[in-house]
């Protein structure tokens, strides 16, 4: 969750720098009443610290999202947004058969 916060701040900074480069428009300064205001400086500082922290992503890599408990049969995904597959007897039967085959 923290990494997503860091990435969000980096995106804000990148968009702001894009606006500055293309249109000479500083959105953060515009929203927070000038570059020297306390809130604008706070945002700039958070974006800078996020960039420093993000350097660690090159070493550790971004952690992939955790897999949901999605039912699959032979590599095909049969999940639905309503999770009906969790109660499908065909899937349960196939799981039991796979477990028996692995034990042999």
pLDDT digits (tens, 9 = 90+) for 57-66: 888 776 554 5
**C-alpha to C-alpha distances, 99 to 40, 85, 92, 95, 96, nearest whole angstrom:** 58, 18, 11, 6, 5
Name which of 51, 8, 47, 4 is nearest 29 in CA terms: 47
* Ranges assigned E (strand) in 1-104: 72-73, 76-77
pLDDT digits (tens, 9 = 90+) for 27-75: 999 999 999 999 999 999 999 999 999 888 888 776 554 554 444 455 5
pLDDT digits (tens, 9 = 90+) for 76-104: 555 555 555 555 666 666 667 777 777 76
**So what's the pLDDT on residue 76?**
57
**H helix and E strand count, the chain:** 5, 2
The answer to pTM > 0.75 is no
């Amino acid at each position: 969750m923290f990494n997503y916060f860091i990435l969000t701040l980096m995106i804000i900074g990148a968009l702001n720098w894009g606006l500055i480069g293309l249109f000479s428009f500083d959105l953060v300064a515009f929203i927070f009443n000038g570059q020297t205001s306390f809130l604008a400086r706070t945002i700039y500082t958070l974006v800078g610290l996020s960039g420093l922290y993000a350097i660690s992503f090159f070493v550790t890599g971004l952690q992939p999202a955790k897999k949901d408990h999605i039912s699959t049969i032979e590599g095909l995904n049969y999940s639905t947004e309503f999770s009906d597959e969790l109660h499908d007897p065909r899937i349960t039967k196939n799981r039991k058969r796979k477990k028996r085959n692995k034990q042999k």
